[in-house]
Amino acid sequence: MSLADDLFINMCKDIIDNGYSTEGEKVRPKWEDGTYAYTIKRFGVVNRYDLSKEFPAITLRKTYVKSAIDELLWIWQKKSNNVHDLKSHIWDSWADENGSIGKAYGYQLGVKHKYKEGMMDQVDRLIYDLKNNPYSRRMLTNIYVHQDLSEMNLYPCAYSMTFNVTGDRLNAILNQRSQDVLAANNWNVVQYAVLVHMLAQVTGFKPGELVHVIADAHIYDRHIPIVKELITRPTHPAPKFYMNPDVKDFYDFTLDDFRIEDYETGPQIKNIPIAI
């Protein structure tokens, strides 16, 4: 069993056994047939992943790691808000006729701000501090910008990162306001694990811990039987993660620089219903 499997199973069991049901509450999401999408939820879930020990992809089912990395590069490296810059179609339903999702996600990371060292966007400021002031306690990014929320086609779910160097290790906290556990949990975990690996390599550190803080971790009502079956499956050792060691500039990474090896998983779950 990978450590990520263990964390995922325990989180799901806790939500199912001890969570709060929103059935009958005034909720926003609906299923495609128009019925309200209720959840079982836990508030304030915290999972810690030690990236020095393993790459945190669950093996209960396959996480499409390369597609997750592509989305990560779209947001953090390309700083794009246009789905035409993304290989997958996961954002298509949120895009307008031109492909834009508004002033959301990558757009916010690309906005330049004035610092005493000069004009920089959030990503460049982070890399600057990791190289020049790595033991700062002020290294964070935030894309939940209130004055722009009305121009976002989707409010950010994973909205803030806080980085901290301890010795020669780069650690990070990912803050997420809301998460559909079945559809998105491990997708986000592997994305931000890769981000820590990338930033560590280009700034001279080793990857440390990724701490994932979820304010509202929920399992939708129609997902509960799927999750119950999923967490009873056999598990396998964590896969091996390869990242091109020759890349020293954050903006030089391409999708071809990443590889997942020895990734043995349970059968994929197809056609997961998504509440909108």
According to the annotation, is 180 in a ligand binding site?
yes
Whether 158 contacts 200, CB under 8 Å: no
According to the annotation, is 14 in a ligand binding site?
no
Q: Looking up tokens 């019925």, which residue turns up? A: 35
Instruction: Name the token pair of 102.
Output: 């508004």
According to the annotation, is 169 in a ligand binding site?
no
CA 202 to chain centre: 20
Give pairs for 176-179: CB < 8 Å, separation 24+.
176/212, 176/213, 176/214, 176/215, 177/144, 177/215, 177/216, 178/214, 178/215, 178/216, 178/218, 179/214, 179/216, 179/217, 179/218
Please say if 157 is a catalytic residue. Answer: yes
Single-letter code of the amino acid located at 91: W
According to the annotation, is 175 in a ligand binding site?
no
> What CA–CA distance (Å, rounded) separates 83 from 94?
9
Whether 205 contacts 168, CB under 8 Å: yes
According to the annotation, is 177 in a ligand binding site?
yes
According to the annotation, is 179 in a ligand binding site?
yes
According to the annotation, is 42 in a ligand binding site?
no
According to the annotation, is 137 in a ligand binding site?
yes
The active-site residue out of 120, 145, 157, 213 is 157
The 3-state DSSP class for residue 137 equals: coil
According to the annotation, is 133 in a ligand binding site?
no
Write out the binding residues for dUMP. Answer: 137-138, 177-180, 188, 218-220
Q: Which residues are annotated as a binding site?
A: 137-138, 177-180, 188, 218-220, 275
Q: What residues are annotated to the active site? A: 157
